A = this chain, B = another copy of it.
């Protein structure tokens, strides 16, 4: 399929990545860090979407303090295309801020909203799916990409497909969204087919998105339109608008409410790279687990991911099922089954007043 080059792209780079400490840090969170690649996740994301668009049609929304980092990692975006949020308000306001600007100029333009921290195994196939989704968006749908699940994962949201669309034929109406199901439900989904993991990548016409925003998230729509009225809104105004915005995700705030949702099922290998466990899984498939290279010596160690980033020698003997992340000032050793609990450790670090390590 030919790749469209008329898609506008909004990259959401607001993720904190707490559970990916000590690579993800307050001063340089997950999207700005290399994890499985030599580039940062943001730079990887930009490289993935660049063939679909142009810098003039690309936007990045991030925390205000990270605007310089975005400029450094994605050079060449026009003035005003890196939107710094003074407060975190989740993905719906972040997306709306950029889409409102696009809608002013080109309400019929197709927009792709993508998180900056997805892992996608085959970027070319991804772009083809986006092009398909853009066709459905042209029909007026708000389209999400779904992944055919390969296991009954209880950590992801699921999308149940409904009727097939007339055009394109490989897209479906969304029957229902289900957040993190229990094991039994997830197994049923897997067995019955017609359920997909929700990637959190959306494609729609800019004007249609703003209409739905006005309907379901009127404060968000109003705030976004207000800030989109001038090229460079006054920082005090931005602050004032953000203070009154609800913090709400695109999924909850809009996708689960609007009747015109569609899904393009994909065979993509995808991960939200939310925990060290998920990173270990992706690494195991593609890069091999030993990312320590010359700096890691493993003896009788199995099923471990070692990121040796400090230059020190890391030796593992008889270690199993763990992720080891060695950085200049902090070391993490986490069993994959406890990857969610890295959060607890950060709370303890904060309690001890070791803020410099967070």
Enumerate chain B residues within 8 angstroms of A312, measured Cβ to Cβ.
328-331
Are B317 and A333 in contact, with the CB atoms below 8 A? yes
Nearest B residue to A351, CB-CB? B297
Cα A294 to Cα B353 with chains together (Å):
10
Cα A322 to Cα B331 with chains together (Å):
15
For the complex, is A319 an interface residue (Cβ under 8 Å from B)?
yes
Given contacts A315-B345, A348-B297, contact A331 B334 (CB under 8 A): no
Are B348 and A334 in contact, with the CB atoms below 8 A? no
Are A349 and B300 in contact, with the CB atoms below 8 A? no
Enumerate chain B residues within 8 angstroms of A314, measured Cβ to Cβ.
330-331, 333
Given contacts A299-B345, A345-B297, A345-B299, contact A338 B317 (CB under 8 A): yes
Cα A344 to Cα B21 with chains together (Å):
31
CB distance from A256 to the nearest CB of B (A): 33
Are B315 and A332 in contact, with the CB atoms below 8 A? yes
Cα A335 to Cα B304 with chains together (Å):
13
Cα A179 to Cα B203 with chains together (Å):
73
Are B349 and A315 in contact, with the CB atoms below 8 A? yes
Enumerate chain B residues within 8 angstroms of A338, measured Cβ to Cβ.
299-300, 317-318
Cα A344 to Cα B299 with chains together (Å):
7
Are A335 and B315 in contact, with the CB atoms below 8 A? no
For the complex, is A122 an interface residue (Cβ under 8 Å from B)?
no
- The contact size tier of chain A is 35 or more
Given contacts A300-B338, A318-B341, A338-B318, contact A313 B357 (CB under 8 A): yes
Given contacts A297-B348, A299-B341, contact A334 B313 (CB under 8 A): no
Q: Of B317, B320, B335, B342, which contacts A345 at CB under 8 A?
A: B317
For the complex, is A278 an interface residue (Cβ under 8 Å from B)?
no
For the complex, is A154 an interface residue (Cβ under 8 Å from B)?
no
Q: Of B294, B318, B331, B349, which contacts A352 at CB under 8 A?
A: B294
Cα A328 to Cα B312 with chains together (Å):
8
Are B319 and A333 in contact, with the CB atoms below 8 A? yes
Enumerate chain B residues within 8 angstroms of A299, measured Cβ to Cβ.
338, 341-342, 344-345, 348
Enumerate chain B residues within 8 angstroms of A190, measured Cβ to Cβ.
none
For the complex, is A316 an interface residue (Cβ under 8 Å from B)?
yes
Enumerate chain B residues within 8 angstroms of A79, measured Cβ to Cβ.
none
Enumerate chain B residues within 8 angstroms of A22, measured Cβ to Cβ.
313, 315
Q: 10 closest Cβ contacts across the A-B interface? A: A318-B338, A318-B335, A317-B334, A313-B330, A299-B344, A299-B345, A315-B345, A315-B332, A297-B348, A313-B357
Complex A-B: 17 CB contacts under 8 Å? A22-B313, A22-B315, A297-B352, A299-B348, A300-B338, A300-B341, A315-B330, A315-B334, A316-B334, A317-B333, A317-B334, A317-B335, A317-B342, A317-B344, A318-B334, A320-B335, A333-B333
